Amino acid sequence: MTEDRLKQLFTGYLEGLLSGEELLELRKEFIRPGHAALMDELMKAAFSNPAYRVDGLTDKEKVLDEVVKRGRVLSEKRPVSKWIYFYAAGAAAVVIIFAGVMWFHTGDKGKGQTANQSVVDIAPAAYTATLTLADGRKIRLGDAVNEEGSQDSGAIRDRGIGVTLAREGGMVIEQTDKGEIVYRKEQASTDLNVPVINMLTTARHEQFRVTLPDGSHVWLNSESTLKYPVVFRERERKVELSGEGFFEVSANSKLPFEVVTGRQTVKVLGTQFNINAYKDEPGILTTVTEGAVRVETSGGNKVLHADQQSINKQGVLTAAAIDPEAAIAWKNGYFMFDNKNLASIMREIARWYDVDVVFEDHSQEDQVFAGSIPRLSRVSEVLNLLGKAGNVRFKMNGNQIIITK
């Protein structure tokens, strides 16, 4: 969408002139992180416009109330999602409310929705992992913690130890000065019939990236494991994944690439795709961003192309066209919720911040949210945004988050 079109839709919203389809179009573009600067500009202009002042006051929350009243449009005959829009720019952060969307600056002294703020806050995940070698040795990787500001939109950090970690199967395993693991061929393997398997593991509160022996890149989300040989055999490139990973597969028409998750196998030649195979999620999500893959399950097979996603629920495979941005937002440094319920959101937060989540009020589990929040945010910031958008109360007790009544 062009900037002019986005401005046109926003102005139409403020004037109450949008159709239901146009409002949905605005909502879809509204949550994209790439529109942060433009949305900030538009919102500041709305705040400074005398037409949206309330009784001559400039208080932002009161102005917003008036903006919402004047711009409210009924879009569909179904419950309206709680919409969040957040971005960080220095110390500033913004959230918006329209037809359920909230906008505010974190510097404002508004009503907080997170109780017990005296507890120690929790920083975002670290860029670190554990590499288990074929002989059982474990190597702790990327010992520099990903403190706030040390990464740019989820990209790998610009500093690292840049050392040789081990030698196995005729390969040198190195950690580059950017922090990722790479495999470099040192000599011909003495026995290709006996695979030498490495295992890369991220715990909760961790993420990492590896370049496989064939040049394929894998981003590993929190609480995930990737098993792979240090040398791929002549007839196949096969890896095993639990948790979530984004794959950029090096093209090789003679050597197919397979990702096995236990309940399905994804076969590709060269493409980019994401697999979410956490055991506590209702199904395995496979999302293709470029090229095509074949998803094979006990209940059937499907070929997915770019901008398509399949879900595997106990062997029953379905597929649909989607916008893949939400599925790969974690790899790009964002939480991005596209009509996701609070129970699912809190599972993602639990993995990223290594916290336990307790719902005292189970009625909150089905609240639906949409929006984006940087993953470099501290947990209190994320909870405050969710609380304000959905009128949810959170209580932090050490590493436990309690959703209260």
**Residue 24 pLDDT:** 63
**Residue 82 pLDDT:** 47
Range of lowest pLDDT (44-58, 60-74, 238-252): 60-74
- Whether the per-residue pLDDT at 323 is higher than 60: the answer is yes
CA–CA distance, 346 with 66 (Å, rounded to integer): 32
Range of lowest pLDDT (31-45, 56-70, 159-173, 345-359): 56-70
Contacts of 324 (CB under 8 A, 6+ apart): 274, 287, 288, 289, 306, 307, 309
- Whether the per-residue pLDDT at 101 is higher than 70: the answer is no
pLDDT band (50, 70, 90) for residue 381: confident
Q: Which of 218, 270, 269 is nearest to 244 (CA)?
A: 218
Q: Are the C-beta atoms of 372 and 84 separated by less than 8 Å?
A: yes
**Residue 384 pLDDT:** 86
SS (H, E, C) the chain: CCHHHHHHHHHHHHCCCCCHHHHHHHHHHHCCHHHHHHHHHHHHHHHHCHHHCECCECCHHHHHHHHHHHHCCCCCCCCCCEEEECCEECCEEECCCCCCEECCECCCCCCCCEECCCCCCCCCCEECEEEECCCCCEEEECCCCCCCCCCCCCCCCCCCCCEEEEEECCEEEEECCCCCEEEEECCCCCCCCCCCEEEEEECCCEEEEEECCCCCEEEECCCEEEEEECCCCCCCEEEEEEEEEEEECCCCCCCCEEEECCCCEEEECCCEEEEEECCCCCCEEEEEEECEEEEEECCEEEEEECCEEEEEECCEEEEEECCCCCCCCCCCCEEEEEEEEHHHHHHHHHHHHCCEEEECCHHHHHCEEEEEEECCCCHHHHHHHHHHHHCCEEEEECCEEEEEC
Residue with more model confidence, 323 or 106? 323
Residue with more model confidence, 356 or 39? 356
pLDDT band (50, 70, 90) for residue 20: low
- Whether the per-residue pLDDT at 373 is higher than 70: the answer is yes
> pLDDT per residue over 253-274, tens digit each?
888 999 999 889 999 978 999 9
Please state the rounded mean pLDDT for residues 24-33: 66
Range of lowest pLDDT (137-146, 242-251, 393-402): 137-146
Please state the rounded mean pLDDT for residues 186-190: 63
pLDDT band (50, 70, 90) for residue 190: low
**Residue 74 pLDDT:** 32
- Whether the per-residue pLDDT at 27 is higher than 70: the answer is no
Please state the rounded mean pLDDT for residues 165-172: 89
